[in-house]
Structure 1
């Protein structure tokens, strides 16, 4: 690592932590929101300037915190820093007049530190601390509004987050136990994983812990509850950056050089099912933020399927491809969440300057030609282009386009009442800057990171027509949905999780009568046995027929 730039890794974490300490000074905390925009900038500089090299180990007070940055990590660190900066500027205006602004800033800076730390951690202890920090601190972002909806979403989120942390702790203990010597560097423990006698158990715990954070089925339940309940800038970083920490965990802890066909195809299957499920369930939602949450579930499924195929083929190159795909999603999804707030403050007569770029970004998730999503789909295509996998990936692109048409429709129902209303400049500028980044940064990354000599080579008619097919199909189906979508039955936010909650409530509701019945039967064991015998005989007679 270039020692002249190594300090940027430390500064990436030191600046938000220093701002947290400054918040302890009376009277300073309420002014910190104006500086949230600068907190991620050292991380952005690190992503641009620090090259791959051996880990930097900080041995202050015996902590031995290891920091490192490889290409996939730099990709996600850079775009995450951009999103956190734009969302921080947005939050400054969004929180104006909020009596709980200081508390929000504390949780924001804690979540930011944890999120950036995950992309920089080089050893098990550091990674676990940063991952736990972002997981637990994000609770404060979800619960901030204090409404019953926000509190419920926060309780579900924190319960699942603690479960995920427990799974990761078990996985990390098994990883450390299977590693020769005393090294806890991630690269060393992953190298030892394929020969571990508890390899399968370790992989299971890793997939549970990281899959929950990434929103993979059936561990996605917190996403469609937490994202709509959180304040707008918090929703942007939750969906854009924080869920990527789970995906990044899969990238760096899966042993891509080992032969794991069962795990590989299982991961691919989960990814593809998640991709389709998220897009389809999102079509039944009315809240535009909930639609975006299900879209995030779908997109994380696609990125996970890429990793699964890389594991199946033994190709570590899939990690960089998945990172590029996820990097585009970081920027686009952040911009779309911020757009919801901008549109909500904009009147119909001032709508088009906001709606047009938002529509381009939204349709880009389905692969609209010339957008960053077009490049993301193009880069992912070689990994998801065979047989049934290719078919499901194409259907996912069609379903995503449908979902984005539905999102735009729901967005239009969220306009300001006054037709001449204009959103505050403090909301427009961060959204516009992030939207521009979402359109152009993927092209820069495609040329520089993926070693494509000339990005214009993909602008041939063959590439453009191939990309346009699923988008046109999705547009056609989406317009049909606009016409007939009101007839679709509603599915609650959280889908199977809500149904599970209802089942639990029903169980508790029936619990007291059943307990009383049990007490009666305990007093009359012979009568209880006779009643049970009679019920069994009656059931058998009914099965036997006439």
Structure 2
């Protein structure tokens, strides 16, 4: 589809018109509130009330996503400490989706971790990750984006390693090591990117506008793709994801898979030029995405725990997002980034709900776990693109960017693979129930706590229906277009194919050994005794750094150091 055929950027500001000052305040508060509460937890009185406030903290971000006019920019801090916020269509979609997931997952987390003595520390890491995730969708200058990206990346370590088991610390070590690598790649790219504009800390849009003519174009693009696809989990940089997801608490896994990986998505959408054909780079990203989409399914099908199956599903789905972005920049198709963000936001809500349903099933009896598995199956089918579901609307949208040809056929077939993997996930959820559930010494007859069930169901409903409300605004195509006979057939056959193969494998399929989480690291022997020693050495100070007051002071030190660097850079 040509760029001229796509609609103008999404603008939902008419839903709740806001005065400029109110809009600017909303953007600032969206980031400042969780950050302030994280530091406020130093005060015992604040720490005691935080579990009751957590569900309301993302509310300013949700209102901002709906009400702030697209394109509005606010200078929070002047030079030399420039800190600029702005909200465009892709950022609004991801910000709104993240706010909804943070709200429901926060309610879930407080019930899930009710008896966990380390819950106060988890809350602080949760708030810091939340602040960073909102910031990456809102910041508009290069230095501030790097600071926000570092905040969400490093804070998420506390979610992954929360359980403090040997496996959790090992997964956290790998995540931290790869995060440091990704940060190094990106800071090198940002330094070269900022060398073009006269401003020491340029607006992202200004720096990216000069990128096609930059003498550093090739290394910048290479570093940007490596740095952000590492966070997204594209092959072969995906290895942290299944390891971290399998050991994190359920709400932590929902945040990691639903939100944290989207920092890589918004990075690509911010730092790649839209509407400018980059045939070679687009083909490279599209090819890597397609390979990752199929690889994630293949390895995910061998998993025997639903959280690991979901982790590999996220690897696969981020491959789909990368393929769409790659196809768009390959042809310079306008509107690509908004549609890619729409698909990513749909994945954000669905995958968050699917992780929460795992926790519900694990807290239920085997019989009640079947009900959780039924909801999980519906969510999984929506992710695969089952017609009449919200996921089908997202699948229809990306076909506007990749309608036909080899890439289009492969993307369509990947839906069959997703269906197959989601069938495996639903089966694993059904097997997750446990006997003799007890709460405070009283028999619960295997009934999961309402504090888990209600947030999970609320997020599931949002995930299934929110895409219908956004589809026409995102694509410029009426919702009815996805309900024509041709569209329904095109949407159903890959799902039907996947269900058919799933039934065949269940009846007479080969028994395949489980691929260990981290797959290629095990194949390469990287998780041998020597490899583990190296990784554990990267977190030798884990016992100290994971104490939230120390981490908070460290993050403050990062902010002060960055401010000092900008000051000296601005001096004559």
Give TM-score, length-normalised by structure 1.
Answer: 0.90
Contact between 1:409 and 1:482, CA under 8 Å: does it hold in 2?
Answer: no
| 1:525 equivalent in structure 2 | none
Which of 136, 151, 160 is equivalent to 2:169?
151
| 2:497 equivalent in structure 1 | 473
Tell me how far apart the structure 1 counterparts of residues 310 and 151 of structure 2 sit (CA, whole Å): 25
Runs in 1 of length 4+ with deviation above 6 angstroms? 506-509
| 1:449 equivalent in structure 2 | 474
How much has 1:351 moved relative to structure 2?
Answer: 3.9
Task: Report matched runs for 1:115-514 at 5 Å.
Answer: 115-182=133-200, 184-418=202-436, 420-452=445-477, 454-485=478-509, 487-502=511-526, 505=529
Tell me how far apart the structure 2 counterparts of residues 502 and 169 of structure 1 sit (CA, whole Å): 27
Q: Specify the SS of the correspondent of 2:91.
A: helix
Question: What is the CA deviation profile of residues 178-204 of structure 1, one whole-angstrom value per residue up to 9, with x for unaligned ones?
Answer: 224455100000001111101000011
Question: What is the CA deviation profile of residues 266-310 of structure 1, one whole-angstrom value per residue up to 9, with x for unaligned ones?
Answer: 011001111111111100111100000000011111111111111
Q: Specify the SS of the correspondent of 1:382.
A: coil
Identify unmatched segments of 5+ residues in structure 2. 1-18, 438-444, 534-572
How much has 1:252 moved relative to structure 2?
Answer: 1.2
Contact between 1:405 and 1:479, CA under 8 Å: does it hold in 2?
Answer: no
Tell me how far apart the structure 2 counterparts of residues 186 and 89 of structure 1 sit (CA, whole Å): 35
How much has 1:315 moved relative to structure 2?
Answer: 1.4
Tell me how far apart the structure 2 counterparts of residues 206 and 393 of structure 1 sit (CA, whole Å): 24
Identify unmatched segments of 5+ residues in structure 1. 510-546
Task: Report matched runs for 1:79-90 at 5 Å.
Answer: 79-90=97-108
Q: Specify the SS of the correspondent of 1:441.
A: helix
Contact between 1:366 and 1:398, CA under 8 Å: does it hold in 2?
Answer: yes
Tell me how far apart the structure 2 counterparts of residues 363 and 507 of structure 1 sit (CA, whole Å): 39
Tell me how far apart the structure 1 counterparts of residues 47 and 289 of structure 2 sit (CA, whole Å): 42
Of the structure 1 ranges 385-394 and 55-64, higher mean CA displacement relative to structure 2 is found in 55-64
Which of 64, 67, 71 is equivalent to 2:89?
71
CA 1:30–1:508 in 2, change beyond 3 Å: closer, same or farther? closer
Contact between 1:33 and 1:91, CA under 8 Å: does it hold in 2?
Answer: no
Question: What is the CA deviation profile of residues 18-42 of structure 1, one whole-angstrom value per residue up to 9, with x for unaligned ones?
Answer: 2123211024324312221111110
Tell me how far apart the structure 1 counterparts of residues 231 and 257 of structure 2 sit (CA, whole Å): 10
Contact between 2:389 and 2:464, CA under 8 Å: does it hold in 1?
Answer: yes
Question: What is the CA deviation profile of residues 78-111 of structure 1, one whole-angstrom value per residue up to 9, with x for unaligned ones?
Answer: 0110001111010110111111111111111110
How much has 1:485 moved relative to structure 2?
Answer: 4.9
Of the structure 1 ranges 230-239 and 247-256, higher mean CA displacement relative to structure 2 is found in 247-256
How much has 1:504 moved relative to structure 2?
Answer: 5.7
How much has 1:61 moved relative to structure 2?
Answer: 8.6
Contact between 1:338 and 1:431, CA under 8 Å: does it hold in 2?
Answer: yes
Tell me how far apart the structure 2 counterparts of residues 244 and 219 of structure 1 sit (CA, whole Å): 15
Contact between 2:107 and 2:451, CA under 8 Å: does it hold in 1?
Answer: yes
| 1:543 equivalent in structure 2 | none
Contact between 1:288 and 1:407, CA under 8 Å: does it hold in 2?
Answer: yes
Tell me how far apart the structure 2 counterparts of residues 406 and 192 of structure 1 sit (CA, whole Å): 47
Q: Specify the SS of the correspondent of 1:178.
A: coil
Contact between 2:82 and 2:201, CA under 8 Å: does it hold in 1?
Answer: no
Which is richer in helix?
1
CA 1:255–1:473 in 2, change beyond 3 Å: closer, same or farther? same
Q: Specify the SS of the correspondent of 2:399.
A: helix
How much has 1:5 moved relative to structure 2?
Answer: 1.8
Q: Specify the SS of the correspondent of 2:56.
A: coil
Tell me how far apart the structure 2 counterparts of residues 106 and 478 of structure 1 sit (CA, whole Å): 42
CA RMSD in angstroms, aligned pairs only: 1.9
Aligned length: 508
Contact between 2:373 and 2:427, CA under 8 Å: does it hold in 1?
Answer: no
Q: Which has the larger radius of gyration?
A: 1
Question: What is the CA deviation profile of residues 129-173 of structure 1, one whole-angstrom value per residue up to 9, with x for unaligned ones?
Answer: 000001001111111101111011000000000000000100000
Tell me how far apart the structure 2 counterparts of residues 39 and 481 of structure 1 sit (CA, whole Å): 45
Contact between 1:30 and 1:101, CA under 8 Å: does it hold in 2?
Answer: no
Question: What is the CA deviation profile of residues 353-398 of structure 1, one whole-angstrom value per residue up to 9, with x for unaligned ones?
Answer: 4332221111111111111111111111132333221221122111
| 1:29 equivalent in structure 2 | 47
